[in-house]
Each structure stands twice: as C-alpha cells, then as structure tokens.
C-alpha cells in the first residue's frame, strides 16, 4: 500500500487530525505500507521506486487526500515526466477523499483530476469517497459509474428546509447523513437536535461578539509591524521551509507592504476576535455537571459552527464596508462555499500562524478581557468557541502550512520573540 502523504501525520500527535485518522483507517487494507511523501512534503522518489520494484506486476493500493495528491504528488510526477522520468502505477487503484473545494480555485474537475493522473503515471482506477469526522468509520464510496453509495450501516435522507420533512425523488433539500456505527459519542443523527438547540439560543436572545481593529502596518523580513495607540507593535511570523504551489517559501509578512526607508507604515492590517459569549459556555458546563454529555457535546458543536459562521460574516463586512477594499466582489451562490474573495484571515494557532503565544501580542490590541474572553497562560481562549487572528488584504495572499521549523529558523524566531528556549517549547514544540 502506498500512502500519498507524509509519515509525520500519524507519528506526531500534535499534528494528528481527521487526516491522520483517515490514513490509519485505510491502512488496515494494505500491507508493506510506504509513504509517497517525506516529512517536507516532497515526493520520496527513491522510496517509491523501491516499493514499485518490490511489487512489480502486483496490484497496488494507493490512498490519499484529494488536494494533497494534486498539490504534492501529481505536480511532482508532472515535473519528473517533463525530465523524462515516469513512474508506472498502471497496476494501482487509488482511493481518495477530503473534498474538492480547494481544487475549485484551480478549476480542476473530477474528470480532469483522473485524466491528468493517468497521463503522468498510468493510473486508471481512481475512486473518490465522501466522509466526515462526525461519521467515524462510515464513508460513501464512488462506484465505477461515478455515483456515491451508502453502506448498509448508513443512509442519506434529503429533507425540506422549512419543516425537515422528507423530500420526494428529484426534489432539492437539505442532506442528512445517518450512521449506526459511532458509539463513543452521539454523532449518528444530529440535524433536528442541532436545530432545536439553535432555536433555544435564538429564543433566549444569545448574541455572538466580534471585534476588528484596522491598523497601519508594514513588514520587514519576517516580522509584521502595526501602529496602535502610538506604539509600534511587532508580530514575528514564520516562513515555510518547503516551497509551496507557486514554488516559493512564503510568510504572512510577504503579504504586507515593506516598511518605508523613513520607517513609514504604508499598508494596513487587521486584528480580529470572535466569541460565542458566556451563555453557550455556561450551558456546556451545566450539562457536564448534570452528566448529560450528549447535550454538552452538541452545544459545543453548535457554538463552534456559529463562531465560524460569524467569523466569515465579519470578514465579509470588513472587506466590503469597514476596510472596503473589495466592495465589488462577486458573491453569487456558486461562490459562497469557496474562498472566492481577496484576502485571508489566518487564525492564531493554525498552520500559517502556528505560535499560540502570539495571542499575548494581539491582546494588547484587541483586549480579550473586554470581550469576555479569558486567555490562559498557555494561550488558550475561554469560551472555547472563540477565535482570533489577522486580516490581510493582499490579492495574492493564501493560506499555507508553515511545516517543520529548522533549528536556524527556530533560533531566529525565538530571538525575535524575545523568549527563552523553555518558554518557546511550550508554544512551538521542538521537532
């Protein structure tokens, strides 16, 4: 079995996620497992060639996530082919999943995805599947005709949005997926229960809070500078150690105009925070004290989704009104479910901005306590359904994964942050 990903996804518990769970789940169907990418997300050509030699003439099972396969496997195979090197995977069967939203920006259709892979490595049998974290162990597999099928342990129901009644054949509605497999949590059918909880929050007048501060900004090397209340605040960032899709190693500071020779800040940047407020958090605490784990988990899920939706709305208001750098952006139905707009809003603690301790820097601007948010000594936010980060308007800005941090960059970053090695290790574990 060839896993089209890097081994650190399952070895490093700090990186473990649905991606790691998917790899472990599909690994039970393979033997002599090899990873097609190294920990720097580069194609392990030597390892792949050795694997193919060992199993020459045999059927090979390949698994990976759609975007990762396209970005790090297909594009590298294409470069090899252009240099006259072609890996033969014509005996392989590829199972991939994880969604197509990230490929829509590159205008890659399902058919083109399959055709291109066939051209560079001979793959003919390629099957997509649909799955979600909330339906542990249950996926919907694509057949040879391109249709997704539910297993005997699951079902798909289409309901009318106005009353959740079941739609007739051919009628459009809300998709509900049902699974009988999960037993460790009440994740098998949440649609109506989540709707009930939303109704309760609305009835009780619960409101989310958002705060945005737009500031003069500039950059120098890998540091962002912002002017706030007469103080110049430094926000060091980290640079990718492996080239991204465009062939360069980027840092968030690249998306802000450099500081002028006279020290002038010629650009702008935003700092934001969004929180669900005290009511959902208080209810989660009460449910747990009463031993009602079902209601507690459901309320946390609803609160998290509300904050994500509110953050998306906040970003829209910033782009079109408060900052106003994208007043004419095209917001049609087809665009709403993908990042069609200019600019990004990287959150602290996420792959582009992995150092959680930066929250203590942005606290000087946002004042989390004033929003009812408590920040722990480890940089965690309470209520847990809260998020914070930066807003950048550069038209070419994109989200990216910083990846592993080498010792030189780590030492430079620690120096710029003014932190001891022990303190830095709490927020950026040593590789």
> Which range among 63-67, 94-98, 280-284, 424-428 shows the weakest confidence by mean pLDDT?
424-428
DSSP string computed for 289-320: HTT-HHHHHHHHHHHHHHHHHHHHHHHHHIII
pLDDT at 106: 64
Of 209-213, 260-264, 291-295, give the range with the top mean pLDDT.
209-213
pLDDT at 297: 82
Instruction: Supply 114's token pair.
Output: 């399959």
Of 166-175, 251-260, 320-329, give the range with the top mean pLDDT.
251-260
What mean pLDDT is reported for the chain? 87
Residue 47 predicted with pLDDT over 80? yes
How many degrees, rounded to 5, is the angle at CA 99 between CA 96 and CA 103?
100
Q: What is the pLDDT of residues 314-345, one digit of tens each?
A: 999 999 999 999 988 876 655 555 567 889 99
158, 174 Cβ separation under 8 angstroms: yes
Share of the chain above pLDDT 90, in %: 51
For the stretch 29-33, contacts whose Cβ atoms lie closer than 8 Å and that sit 24 or more positions apart, written own/partner, are 29/1, 29/61, 30/1, 30/3, 30/61, 30/63, 31/1, 32/1, 33/1, 33/2, 33/3
pLDDT at 132: 72
Name which of 235, 229, 230, 224 is nearest 259 in CA terms: 224
Instruction: Supply 370's token pair.
Output: 């004033």
DSSP 321: I
Instruction: Supply 115's token pair.
Output: 């055709």
Contacts of 227 (CB under 8 A, 6+ apart): 215, 216, 217, 233, 265
28, 89 Cβ separation under 8 angstroms: no
224, 269 Cβ separation under 8 angstroms: yes
Of all helices (H) and strands (E), which one includes residue 45? helix 45-54
d(CA 148, CA 150): 7
Residue whose tokens read 């290790």: 425
Residue 16 predicted with pLDDT over 60? no
Residue 431 predicted with pLDDT over 70? no
Number of H helices, E strands in the chain: 13, 16
Kindly indicate the confidence band of residue 351, based on its pLDDT and cuts at 50, 70 and 90: confident
> Which range among 184-198, 347-361, 377-391, 398-412 shows the weakest confidence by mean pLDDT?
184-198
Residues 216-238: what's their mean pLDDT?
A: 96
Which neighbouring-strand residues pair with 236? 223
Using CB atoms within 10 Å of the CB of residue 27, give its burial: 0 to 12 exposed, 13 to 18 middle, 19+ buried.
middle
Residues 17-36: what's their mean pLDDT?
A: 87
Residue 57 predicted with pLDDT over 80? yes
Residue 359 predicted with pLDDT over 60? yes
d(CA 360, CA 93): 48
Q: pTM value?
A: 0.61
Would you give the end-to-end CA distance of the chain in angstroms? 27
Residue 187 predicted with pLDDT over 80? no
d(CA 398, CA 25): 30
SS3 4: coil
Residue 427 predicted with pLDDT over 60? yes
Instruction: Supply 356's token pair.
Output: 């959680």
DSSP 232: E
Higher pLDDT, 334 or 263: 263
Q: What is the pLDDT of residues 116-147, one digit of tens each?
A: 999 999 999 999 998 876 666 678 899 888 88
233, 239 Cβ separation under 8 angstroms: no
According to the 3-state scheme, what is the secondary structure of 106-168?
CCCCHHHHHHHHHHHHCCCEEEEEEECHHHCCCEEEECCCCCEECCCCEEEEEECCCCCCECC
Name which of 86, 145, 104 is nearest 112 in CA terms: 104
What backbone phi and psi angles, to 5 degrees, belong to 211?
-135, 135
Residue 370 predicted with pLDDT over 60? yes
Higher pLDDT, 160 or 348: 348
Kindly indicate the confidence band of residue 184, based on its pLDDT and cuts at 50, 70 and 90: low
> Which range among 103-117, 183-197, 213-227, 348-362 shows the weakest confidence by mean pLDDT?
183-197
Of 80-94, 166-180, 210-224, give the range with the top mean pLDDT.
210-224
d(CA 368, CA 382): 10
pLDDT at 3: 95
Residue 15 predicted with pLDDT over 60? no
Name which of 374, 79, 423, 427 is nearest 243 in CA terms: 79
Residues 162-191: what's their mean pLDDT?
A: 73
Residues 349-371: what's their mean pLDDT?
A: 94
Contacts of 296 (CB under 8 A, 6+ apart): 284, 287, 288
Name which of 33, 25, 44 is nearest 1 in CA terms: 33
pLDDT at 334: 53
């Amino acid at each position: 079995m060839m896993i089209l990903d890097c081994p650190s996804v399952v070895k490093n518990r700090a990186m473990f996620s649905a991606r790691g769970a998917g790899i472990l789940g599909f690994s039970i169907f393979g033997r002599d497992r090899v990873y097609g990418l190294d920990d720097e997300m580069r194609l392990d050509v030597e390892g792949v060639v050795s694997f193919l030699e060992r199993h020459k003439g045999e059927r090979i099972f390949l698994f990976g996530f759609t975007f990762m396969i396209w970005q790090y496997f297909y594009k590298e195979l294409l470069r090899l082919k252009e240099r006259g090197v072609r890996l033969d995977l014509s005996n392989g069967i590829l199972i991939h999943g994880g969604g197509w939203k990230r490929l829509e920006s590159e205008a890659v259709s399902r058919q083109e995805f399959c055709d291109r892979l066939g051209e560079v490595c001979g793959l003919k049998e390629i099957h997509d599947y649909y799955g979600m974290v909330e339906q542990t162990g249950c996926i919907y597999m694509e057949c040879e005709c391109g249709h997704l099928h539910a297993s005997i342990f699951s079902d798909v129901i289409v309901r009318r949005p106005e009353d959740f009644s079941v739609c007739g054949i051919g009628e459009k509605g809300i998709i509900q997926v049902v699974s009988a497999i999960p037993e460790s949590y009440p994740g098998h059918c949440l649609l109506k229960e989540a709707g009930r909880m939303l109704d309760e929050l609305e009835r009780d007048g619960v409101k989310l809070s958002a705060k945005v501060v737009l500031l003069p900004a500039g950059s120098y090397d890998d540091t962002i500078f912002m002017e706030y209340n007469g103080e110049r605040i430094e926000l060091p960032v980290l640079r990718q150690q492996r080239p991204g899709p465009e062939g360069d190693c980027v840092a968030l500071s690249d998306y802000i105009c450099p500081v002028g020779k006279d020290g002038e800040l010629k650009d702008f940047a935003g700092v934001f925070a969004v929180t669900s407020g005290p009511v959902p958090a208080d209810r989660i605490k009460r449910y747990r004290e009463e031993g009602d784990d079902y209601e507690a988990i459901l309320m946390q899920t609803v609160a998290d989704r509300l904050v994500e939706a509110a953050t998306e709305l906040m970003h829209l208001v910033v782009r079109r009104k408060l900052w106003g750098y994208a007043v004419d952006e095209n917001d049609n139905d087809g665009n709403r479910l993908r990042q069609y707009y200019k600019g990004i809003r990287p959150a602290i603690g996420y792959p582009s901005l992995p150092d959680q301790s930066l929250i203590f820097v942005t606290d000087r601007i946002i004042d989390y306590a004033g929003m009812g948010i408590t920040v722990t000594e480890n940089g965690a936010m309470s209520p847990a359904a809260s998020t914070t980060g930066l807003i950048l308007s550069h038209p070419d800005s994109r989200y990216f994964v910083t990846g592993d941090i080498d010792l030189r960059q780590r030492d430079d970053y620690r120096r710029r942050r003014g932190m001891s090695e022990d303190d830095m290790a709490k927020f950026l574990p040593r590789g």
